Chain A
Amino acid sequence: AQSVTQPDARVTVSEGASLQLRCKYSYSGTPYLFWYVQYPRQGLQLLLKYYSGDPVVQGVNGFEAEFSKSNSSFHLRKASVHWSDSAVYFCAFNVGDNSKLIWGLGTSLVVNP
């Protein structure tokens, strides 16, 4: 079955530290991959997406993610986090036009000032 695993329910880091949030998907082909962020009491916003090509994609606010077909992963990274990055981050994928997104359960990021 198609699924997304975000193994860390909660990650706590200090401001200025580097960050990696992990995401693994279960699908035999190459999906369209997304990271979304949800700030407190807000809807979800797209952070970045991967469709094809360069496996490292850049997003907003200094975030990037790297697609690995061999590892079925799409990990999110940031070189130096800010307290305002505290939010819940969701990884998702779909397999083509008009197909449903498959969502991970999210990782809650807490950045200590």
Chain B
Amino acid sequence: GGIITQTPKFLIGQEGQKLTLKCQQNFNHDTMYWYRQDSGKGLRLIYYSITENDLQKGDLSEGYDASREKKSSFSLTVTSAQKNEMAVFLCASSIDRGEVFFGKGTRLTVV
């Protein structure tokens, strides 16, 4: 089986700071995703990528950039962290028919 590794596990940033989250997968999946999870709001798609160097905006892309330079990696940048922001960012990858595999998440706190 494969694994999705997200780094860092915990991220504390300052207001206005640019922050980068990284994700690696060894499933050899074509499609990768970044989701944001807030308490009580389910999962919201930020960006996804169906192949290397491809980027597709999700419902919540404003305030974020993403990069897919290799098939196995997908990074997400918070372009300007918002004060008191707290959320979990989940990276995922998928095979055909939408079965999605998730990493354990990066917990972001902005002070």
The interface of chain A, by Cβ under 8 A from chain B, is 9, 32, 34, 36, 41-46, 49, 51, 90, 92-94, 96-101, 103-106
How many A-B pairs fall under 8 Å by CB? 54
Given the known inter-chain contacts A90-B42, A104-B42, A105-B42, please indicate yes or no for A97 contacting B102, CB distance below 8 A: no
- Inter-chain contacts of B60 with A (CB < 8 A): none
Establish whether residues B99 and A34, one from each chain, have CB atoms under 8 Å apart when the complex forms: yes
With both beta carbons as reference points, the residue of chain A lying nearest to B95 in the complex is identified as: A97
Bound Cα distance from A92 to B100, whole angstroms = 11
Partner of A51, one of B41, B92, B97, B104: B97
13 further contact pairs, Cβ within 8 A, besides A42-B105, A43-B4, A106-B42: A34-B99, A43-B102, A43-B104, A44-B90, A49-B99, A90-B42, A96-B97, A97-B96, A98-B50, A99-B98, A101-B98, A101-B100, A104-B42
Closest A residue to B45 using CB positions? A100
Given contacts A32-B98, A45-B102, A98-B50, contact A105 B41 (CB under 8 A): yes
Could you jot down 13 A-B contacts, CB within 8 Å? Answer: A32-B98, A43-B90, A43-B103, A44-B43, A44-B92, A44-B102, A45-B102, A46-B99, A90-B43, A97-B98, A98-B50, A98-B96, A100-B45
Q: Which residues of A contact B97 (CB under 8 A)?
A: 32, 51, 94, 96-97
Q: Of residues 36 to 53 in B, which have CB atoms within 8 Å of A's CB atoms? A: 40-43, 45, 48, 50
Q: How far is the CB of B103 from chain A (nearest CB, A)?
A: 5
Q: How many angstroms from the CA of A44 to the CA of B40 in the assembled complex?
A: 15
Q: How far is the CB of B3 from chain A (nearest CB, A)?
A: 11
Min Cβ gap A51→B in Å is 6
Decide if B58 is an interface residue (CB 8 Å cutoff): yes
Whether, in the assembled complex, B72 has its beta carbon less than 8 Å from a beta carbon of chain A, the answer is no
**A9-B40 in contact (CB<8A):** yes
Q: Is B31 on the interface with A (CB-CB < 8 A)?
A: yes
Is the beta-carbon distance between B40 and A105 smaller than 8 angstroms? yes
CB proximity of B88 to chain A, nearest CB, Å: 9
CB nearest to A97 among chain B residues? B96
Residues of B within 8 A of A34 (CB): 98-100
CA distance A100 to B100 in the complex (A): 10
